[in-house]
Structure 1
Amino acid sequence: MLKEGALPLAETMAIARQIADALSAAHERGIIHRDLKPGNVMVTAEGVVKVLDFGLGKALEAEAVSETANSPTMTMAATQAGIILGTAGYMSPEQAKGRAADKRADVWAFGCVLYEMLTGRRAFEGDDLTEILAAIVRGEPDWKLFPAAAPAAVRELVEGCLIKNRAERLSDMSVVRFLLSDRTHSGSTMSGPASVAMPAARTRSVGWPVAAGLIAVAVLATAGVMRFWAPQSAPASAGAVSRLSITLPEGDQLNWTDQLPMAVSPDGTTVVYAALRDGVPRLYLRALSEREPTALAGTDGAKTPFFSPDGGWIGFFAQGKLKKIAIGGAALQSLADAPDARGGTWDSNDIIYFTPTQAGSIWKVSAAGGTATEFTSLDRTKGETSHRWPRAIPGQHTILFSALTGPGQDQRHVVSQSAATGERHSLIQGGATPWYVSSHLLYGNRDALFAVPWAPPQTSLAGAVPVAMAELPRLENETALAYGVSNNGTLVYLAGGQSRTLNRVVWVDHSGRTEALTLPEREYESVVLSPNGRQAIVQVFEGLVTLWMVDLARQTLTPFITNGSSQAPLWTTDGTHVIYRGTRGGFRNLYRKAADGTGVEERLTEKIDVVQTATSVSPDGEWLLFNEGGSGGVAIWKLPLKTDAKTARPELMFAAAERALNGVVSRDGKWLAFESEVSGRVEVYVQPFPGPGPRKQVSTTGGSFPLWPRDGRTLYFDSLDNRVMAADVTTGAAFSASVPRVQFEGRFKTSVNSNTPYDISLDSRRLLRVQQIHPEAGVTHIDVVLNWATQLGRR
């Protein structure tokens, strides 16, 4: 924030007010930052200030540094005496002496940061740690550097924050916030120039406590009036809206491709999230009053966490099960089968409502355990294919959820259903991921979070006008917004996660160099090369998911299947047909159409309440392999292709219990590569085709989407960090594989809506893949907005 020196006065004051708002709101909740410094303040392009890394709470060992402003932080457990706490240049005198720290340490650090914004220099400097601490304890800032144009009241504010005796220092950030408020600094006190003469230290130290006390009385009196006149729907303790950010430990990434990765506790003080560490997703608990997260043992493979109403338990999904665990990490219990879950919620009657698969309804089970029963039923007359993301309304025994009639954003609707009577009402057309807080219904539509006044038992929103409240990232596979809200209005959402953006189709060589096809930039999701290498099919998201044909020689793009949502295309071995998943009338089954676009599509399967995805055609063209996800989990099946589609019957290859998917037959027809998370992490395996036979693990640190190139001497797969790996293979009488190596690097798009995110050229020298135009690294931050719900109804 301050690498280029002092900031303009107006910008400084705008930033200072937002920092003060954030600290004041945190103090009201009993949270002390203890490590405020420029390195922990981020300003967005829109001028929104985010205070990062709230709650320093563990003892860490400081390392050698060259820049104290952003140096490693020396910490201690909250208020524990005897250990230095805080980054050296911004420590309060009491911290420098190793004494207990309270919220007045944040006031001191705020003064240091404000001084630095105004002067471009740190308030307390030195060549080493000893000199810096000595300056803090005995020295004074260089007041001659203070800008003459700054109002006298600003100088007095900084001085009041930097009084060494904390008993005489400004006592609270609410006082600082009051002094920075528009009505205060717009008057003559704030607008006048700073005085040249320095007030005597004794005068400052005596005057500030008196002034602070009077201001505190004024603030309390004003707060009382505001509470009296506040609308009844607003909480009495509502404070200023302020932002902070949770930064994951180095190397961790949120696991959010098609699952909500985090949740906030009902009281808004704690966040639980699912993160990848060493390739394994597990749950971490982060109190806003602490600096470091706590890993919850026994949660390997976890996704989509949610809190119990009292905040004492966390529900989540792992290993194909709905589970719960106490926040202390004890009493882990499996409750029900959930092989491919899409959300859960815990209501005040101690019932958990959850969607066990992506192709079905919402079920319920007692949080104490027992038999799960179906709660909702799909309305086939409306073409519903799935009910997802249930959300219990506190104290109302009403469940909100998303009803899907297809994969497009406009095919998702917000519905409420009574937990007592089963009475159901459609509330929003074209919305997903509902939530309820402060007498408002929240929902997502594309990249926007909307709010509309509503409260059960209302059955209609006729006449109500939704208001866009924020732009948030969407889950890639879900068109669902990645956010959560506490009962008292704290909002959490992903920071840095991309929503759907324009992409390009590129060739990538082994050095990582890319060559883009001259196609229009669109929301491409995946690309599959034809057997002769002359054409490719791209999957495009346009509200619906459609398929387009690419002529690689002419670099042209023409529509192939655009009359309904169609996904996961696959060429037949001879290149004459394309097989794909089509969503038609509430069914998500397999279809086939001539590659030249002639004729009508032919339905290959017909099964309700499942999602089917073609993954491979055997080299002889006899068998089609496909994933089938349903209430029992995901299984691999094979379908005879040379039999009349009306009489052909699929054969089971891998039951759901084996947790296998994406089977791909080798070029010689002897081996089957597939992925499975039976070990707790997704890995790539090979076994004889059609089987049975011994199974060989190929990947070593996780892998998915296996692909055999044309030469058959290598097996490619995607690593968990989005690199294409390669293992040399021997496919004689027995199968063997080398240790995998990185074959192609770069940040590319991976869509779980497809059967493969990439393809390999005929000579195996290049990769054909969808590339994000503005690629981002893995998501490593969660943004938190305290008192966010106080904005509802104001726009």
Structure 2
Amino acid sequence: MAEPIGDNQDKSIEEAVQQFVHARSHGQEPDTDEFVKQYPELEHQLRQRLQNLEKIDALFDSLVQADENDFEETASGQDLVGRKIGSFEIVEMIGRGGMGVVYLARDTKLDRLVAIKSIPIELQADSRARTRFTREAKMLASLSHPNIGVIHDIIEQTDGTDYLVLEYVPGETLAERITKGPLKLQEALTIALQIAEAAAAAHEHDVIHRDLKPGNIKITPDGRVKVLDFGLAKTVGGGPSEKPTAVTQPGRVIGTPAYMSPEQARGKPTDKRSDIWSFGCVLYEMLTGRVPFEGETISDMLAGILEREPDWQALPQSTPANIRSLLRHCLKKDPRRRLQHIGDARIEIDETLTSLTVSVPTVEEMRPVGLRRLMVWAVVCLLVGAIATSLVTWNLKRSAPLSQPTTRFIIPPETDLATDASFHHILALSPDGRRLAYVEEANDARRKIYLRELDKFKAKPLPGTEGAVSPFFSPDGQWIAYSDHYQRTFNKVSLKGGRPIVLCDSIQFRGGSWGTDDTIIFTPGLGAHEEGGLWRISASGEGLEQLTVSDPNKGERGHLWPQVLPGGKAVLFTNRCIGGPDIEVYSLETDRRTKLFSGHYARYVPTTGHIVYARTGALYAVRFDIERLKVVGSSVPIVPDVLTGGSGSAHFAISRNGSLAYVPVVTRSTELTPVWVDRNGRVETLPAATPHNYISVTISPDGTRLAFGIRDGDNRDVWIYDLTRHTLTPLTSDGISDYPIWTPDSKWAVFQSYQAGKFQLFMQNVTGSGEPELLAAFEGILGRLSCCSPDGKEVLVSRWDYYDPNHPRWGNDICVVLLEQNEKYHLRPFIQRNHNQRQGVWSPDGRWVAYAGDESGRWEVYVEPYPGPGPKTMISNQGGYQPAWSRNGKELFYRSGRGNRKMIAATFETEPEFRITGFEELFEGQYQRHIQWRNYDVAPDGRFLIIQEPQEPTPLGINVVLNWFEELKRLVPPGKD
């Protein structure tokens, strides 16, 4: 097949540019005009490309001259060796550069070696140099990590000279190590892992390095890596900040050329992805012993960065495929296509190092025992699965589906189905019915997509899909699109291999559908882009546009779970409303919406002409006239007990060839029971606490009452339980109140309400006397109330940022609401990052806030000082959420483990800084789990009040029905109303 003309032209331009650069790098000076004349059909485009190269050359000539002048001024500064600055005796000079001189010094007070960095007196008048120096101090002060050099102090002398007192890091630089030759794979990856850890910690504080290179990385004698020299670092929001200056504005090129990203080289604004590029350059150099973009001059080097690919053949043959893929994604020239988060590189490298430690036997070593095991395994598999597999294969390959019997079987998950992702969808069938994709929660508590070929015995995880939810197939069945819930992106991944491709940002994804015109209609989240409507994007990630807008004033919460109808002229979707979800159809031709009926998660079946949808935990079907976009006849229940979730999701999928897959409900009971559990796991029932759908619980500070949030269908109300009289009585009856917390005097309950786009906080006397008192009201956001401060003047709220269309970021922030503002409501962000933070709770002394965050790729528990600023401390390290302090403030509890069924107690010290001293696993059980809110509390006597779920008799599996359309047509005949 001939290549497209456009592709040929781009290839010709690329080859011409390469020829031009090659000539310059070998001492020739080709004339641009003469060179361009050799390619008359490409003259205009080629001239523009070569002019860009000349601009870069001129820019770097001026930059290098400026840096040389800076270095000469630095070199002429005073020699401080032998002098004493404060309590520090200068021992020797150990480095110098454009931003000053670095000395080894002895701290006479603490008897330790330190590094002192100064700006020479000649540069004190240079405002740019002073700014960079000050910024470095602020950057380092905000970072606390074992792989980042520490700042001890700042000294300001009377002569106007400033000094930084830094951690002295002995050992050689990575640059010095590389001069000895390429590193072995395991050594390189071990170092790269620590560099990624440091970069991730910096990025977590919204700090980018901008000059990450081997010369700024030290390796101590014990093998620890330290990233140094944040003199070029800048904040990208959330950390120490300052007004933009010439050193951070677009157009100014800062960094070391060999490790600069393309956007850095062009003088464009930079972000964390520039550090990821530099990280890729460093890893490549460790493995090959040379930089990925070489050149005799800076301009040659930069031309390579902008125009060429690295020599991938230079990588050692032993380099694993996933590391090669990681390097390619780190060194994508378009930052939108580049690896988006350094934490992903950390995870990839860590998994590779783990695999390298596993000894793999040779074929000869495996043969005697392995053959016997293979025979046993084969016999068992044949006995258990031969019939089901034969039926699957027969159904998939035969061409006369009407003569086939309906066949049912169950697919057990490899670990656990991710049914805790209740606001998402977890399975999809390929259009031809040959493949089933579903989301599992792996042993490390991370979700990922598993792919099962229905004529095979085993499912395989799709690499790179950690954090995936709501998968769906492309029309040709060769791609799966999904939401990365951890990274807040909408991705696609090829079933032929390769890393996932990011299409766009997505905040709280609520489903999508891939049309035959190669566009995708999807819901990025409840208000992620504007206000939670349907959006359209090309399958290549271009042309994002909004189609519908949900209206909170009409009780609409979002337009969810779309399906593009055949012909591409209309879309089925769920309109999630306060009064219950409706199925609507949206015409792409007329831009009109039409309500069809009540229900959620609708899927049109072209072969039979039915709409299949969920309602009250079952599947229903109704005939549908696709030409008139109207329902024909009445709905009929067809499959009972199908698992459904929040936001209108339902866990079923239908293929074009007549297959149905669904997750059955193991227990239909929503009756939950609050129980007392002691530290040893002994359970005691709560007298007179009848089963309800309890969603939250808190114990009053004096230990005499409980406050519950109870859901009854779509109604939510606050109830109070008296522990003395053992009575449960409602405090509210409006059907829209929930998540109560207590004031410190135990007399009042503070609770929240959400109606018509307004988030409100109320307070009411727990005796039920009087009317609720409005404390605060906020338009356009959604929040979750979590804690009242020890002095009763503030409350913590997890705020859903995507309800604010003017807010420049996304995710859940932890905010503080001041309850005494003279009728002026005030919501102040406390923890605000490009990840989710929830479940904030003050320590009893009010000095610390514990919360759950997902920036590591899974939920973990963290602690930060209040009101800040100060370092963040990770408490859990194997997953954790729902933190709660003991009443005496000496322990911090949280839930962890698979399914988050375990209760963990952590002990800690707070001086000189917050530090964990130990962990204890208290108990594990069938207790309600949820990532949105905390559904347990700690009593003054140390017992836990926790919501107990009914026991599940068997693990959840996936029911598969082949040739299901015959059954559907029998239950809902096509010709009858």
The TM-score normalised by the length of structure 2 is 0.56
CA distance in 2, matches of 1:304, 1:656: 24
Q: Give 1:398 shift.
A: 2.0
CA distance in 2, matches of 1:752, 1:672: 18
Query: What CA RMSD, in Å, does the superposition of the two structures yield over aligned residues?
Result: 3.2
Partner of 2:506: 338
CA distance in 1, matches of 2:775, 2:431: 47
1:87 is aligned to 2:380? yes
Output the amino acid matched with 1:532.
D
Q: In 1, are the aligned partners of 2:815 and 2:828 still within 8 Å (CA)? A: yes
Partner of 2:678: 509
Q: In 1, are the aligned partners of 2:776 and 2:819 still within 8 Å (CA)? A: no
Partner of 2:821: 643
Deviations along 1:573-619, whole A, 9 cap, x unmatched?
33233233323234444333332323333444444443211112211
Q: Higher mean Cα deviation, 708-717 or 589-598?
A: 589-598
Partner of 2:922: 743
1:786 is aligned to 2:957? no
CA distance in 2, matches of 1:270, 1:575: 56
Deviations along 1:296-346, whole A, 9 cap, x unmatched?
222111111111111111111111111111112325211121122222222
1:363-442 pair list within 5 angstroms:
363-406=535-578, 411-429=580-598, 431-437=599-605, 438-442=608-612
1:269 is aligned to 2:434? yes
Output the amino acid matched with 2:700.
S
CA distance in 2, matches of 1:388, 1:705: 28
- Return closer, same or farther for 1:330/1:88 CA change in 2, 3 Å cut-off: closer
CA distance in 2, matches of 1:309, 1:602: 54
Q: In 1, are the aligned partners of 2:811 and 2:835 still within 8 Å (CA)? A: no
Q: Give 1:502 shift.
A: 1.4
1:580 is aligned to 2:751? yes
Q: Give 1:84 shift.
A: 8.5
Q: Give 1:673 shift.
A: 0.8
CA distance in 2, matches of 1:514, 1:337: 45
Q: In 2, are the aligned partners of 1:256 and 1:475 still within 8 Å (CA)? A: no
1:520 is aligned to 2:693? no
Deviations along 1:99-125, whole A, 9 cap, x unmatched?
xxxx9x759999xxxxxxxxxxxxxxx
- Return closer, same or farther for 1:401/1:507 CA change in 2, 3 Å cut-off: same
Q: In 2, are the aligned partners of 1:255 and 1:275 still within 8 Å (CA)? A: no
The runs of 4+ residues in structure 1 deviating greater than 6 Å are 61-64, 107-110
Partner of 2:526: 358
Q: Give 1:699 shift.
A: 0.5
Q: Name the SS of the counterpart of 1:554 in structure 2.
A: coil
Q: Give 1:739 shift.
A: 4.1
Q: Give 1:744 shift.
A: 2.7
Q: In 2, are the aligned partners of 1:73 and 1:87 still within 8 Å (CA)? A: no
Deviations along 1:37-62, whole A, 9 cap, x unmatched?
xxxxxxxxxxxxxxxxxxxxxx9x99
Deviations along 1:670-711, whole A, 9 cap, x unmatched?
111111111111111111111111111100100111111211
Partner of 2:404: 239
Output the amino acid matched with 1:384.
E
1:278-297 pair list within 5 angstroms:
278-297=444-463
Q: Give 1:458 shift.
A: 3.5
- Return closer, same or farther for 1:737/1:62 CA change in 2, 3 Å cut-off: farther
1:156-195 pair list within 5 angstroms:
none
Of 784, 796, 802, the residue aligned with 1:625 is 796
CA distance in 2, matches of 1:725, 1:733: 24
Q: Give 1:451 shift.
A: 0.8
Q: Give 1:281 shift.
A: 1.2
Q: In 2, are the aligned partners of 1:564 and 1:583 still within 8 Å (CA)? A: no
CA distance in 2, matches of 1:654, 1:485: 42
Q: Give 1:736 shift.
A: 1.2
CA distance in 2, matches of 1:633, 1:622: 26
Greater helix share, structure number: 2
Structure 2: gaps spanning 5 or more residues: 1-362, 803-809, 972-977
- Return closer, same or farther for 1:784/1:284 CA change in 2, 3 Å cut-off: same
CA distance in 1, matches of 2:754, 2:679: 37
Q: Higher mean Cα deviation, 692-701 or 596-605?
A: 596-605
CA distance in 2, matches of 1:73, 1:560: 64
1:600-615 pair list within 5 angstroms:
600-615=771-786
CA distance in 1, matches of 2:780, 2:519: 24
Q: Name the SS of the counterpart of 2:966 in structure 1.
A: helix
CA distance in 1, matches of 2:689, 2:368: 50
CA distance in 1, matches of 2:445, 2:699: 29
CA distance in 2, matches of 1:371, 1:507: 54
Of 684, 687, 694, the residue aligned with 2:864 is 687
Structure 1: gaps spanning 5 or more residues: 1-58, 65-71, 76-82, 92-102, 111-171, 175-222, 228-235
How many residues are aligned here?
583
Partner of 2:636: 467
Output the amino acid matched with 2:959.
D
CA distance in 2, matches of 1:628, 1:524: 22
- Return closer, same or farther for 1:459/1:712 CA change in 2, 3 Å cut-off: same
1:659 is aligned to 2:829? no
Of 640, 658, 667, the residue aligned with 1:489 is 658
Q: Name the SS of the counterpart of 1:86 in structure 2.
A: helix
CA distance in 1, matches of 2:877, 2:723: 35
Q: In 1, are the aligned partners of 2:666 and 2:952 still within 8 Å (CA)? A: no
- Return closer, same or farther for 1:413/1:590 CA change in 2, 3 Å cut-off: farther
- Return closer, same or farther for 1:732/1:595 CA change in 2, 3 Å cut-off: farther
- Return closer, same or farther for 1:373/1:610 CA change in 2, 3 Å cut-off: farther
Q: Give 1:456 shift.
A: 2.4
1:320 is aligned to 2:488? yes
Q: Give 1:473 shift.
A: 3.9
Deviations along 1:694-731, whole A, 9 cap, x unmatched?
11110010011111121111111111422221111223
Q: Name the SS of the counterpart of 2:633 in structure 1.
A: coil
Output the amino acid matched with 1:421.
T
CA distance in 2, matches of 1:88, 1:607: 59
Deviations along 1:458-509, whole A, 9 cap, x unmatched?
4443x72111111234345345322122223321112455455212111112
- Return closer, same or farther for 1:253/1:260 CA change in 2, 3 Å cut-off: closer
Output the amino acid matched with 2:437.
V
- Return closer, same or farther for 1:310/1:601 CA change in 2, 3 Å cut-off: farther
1:565 is aligned to 2:744? no
Q: Give 1:659 shift.
A: 2.7
Output the amino acid matched with 1:514.
V
Partner of 1:542: 712
Output the amino acid matched with 1:284.
Y
Output the amino acid matched with 1:415.
E
